[in-house]
């Protein structure tokens, strides 16, 4: 879809978070991992939130995790989401530790705490691929 056709909010891509967005376009979930203490974190930040080290590497994650919280929106706070009501926003605790906010494909009524999920790459524009999730069996 061309950017002009996609009406929902888009991320601001900066030098700090570009490896994350470039990774999603390549079907890879990449986050920063601290060389000093081993912590992996989200969202992208210039230093480790665990030990404040500036030494990190962008590492590829499994894209697997479990639902740790969620909400279902019944009111459209953005006009571009009106057709999606009711829609969910889930918090996924990734197997590697970080928690990310995303949308879960499937029925809102089937969302459960601890539900195993895996990443889905959604190309919303030529430049932007979003991370969404879907249920997985194991
Ligand atoms: Zn650290």
Going by C-alpha positions, the residue among 74, 72, 94 that lies closest to residue 82 is 74
Residue range 102-120, pLDDT digits in tens? 999 999 999 999 999 999 9
Planar angle of CA 105, 108, 112, nearest 5 degrees = 95
Task: Measure 52 CA to ligand 1 centroid, in angstroms.
Answer: 6
- pLDDT band at residue 4 using 50, 70 and 90 as cut-offs: low
Q: What is the pLDDT of residue 1?
A: 56
DSSP letters, 11-73, are ----TTTHHHHHHHHTT--EEEEETTT--EESS--SS-TTT----EEEEE---EEEEEEEEEE
The pLDDT value given to residue 138: 73
pLDDT average, residue stretch 51-78: 97
pLDDT for res 137: 86
Task: Give the residue-averaged pLDDT of 21-44.
Answer: 98
> Ligand 1 mean position to 43 CA, how many Å?
14
Gap from CA of 35 to ligand 1 centroid (Å): 7
How far does the centroid of ligand 1 lie from the alpha carbon of residue 63, in Å? 21
CA distances from residue 24 to 17, 105, 124 in whole angstroms, order as listed = 11, 17, 11
pLDDT of residue 5: 83
Distance from the alpha carbon of residue 8 to the mean position of ligand 1, in angstroms: 35
Q: Calculate what percentage of the chain has a pLDDT beyond 70.
A: 97
């Amino acid at each position: 879809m061309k950017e002009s056709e996609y009406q929902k909010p888009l991320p601001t891509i900066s030098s700090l978070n570009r490896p994350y967005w470039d990774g999603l376009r390549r079907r890879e979930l990449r986050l920063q991992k601290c060389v000093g203490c081993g912590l992996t974190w989200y969202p992208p930040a210039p230093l480790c939130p665990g030990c404040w080290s500036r030494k990190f590497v962008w590492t590829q994650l499994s894209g697997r995790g479990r639902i740790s919280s969620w909400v279902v929106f019944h009111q459209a706070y953005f006009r571009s989401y009106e057709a999606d009501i009711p829609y969910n926003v889930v918090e996924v605790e990734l197997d590697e530790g970080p928690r990310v906010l995303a949308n879960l494909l499937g029925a809102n009524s089937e969302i459960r705490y601890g539900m195993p999920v895996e990443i889905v790459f959604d190309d919303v524009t030529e430049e932007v691929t979003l991370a969404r999730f879907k249920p997985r069996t194991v």
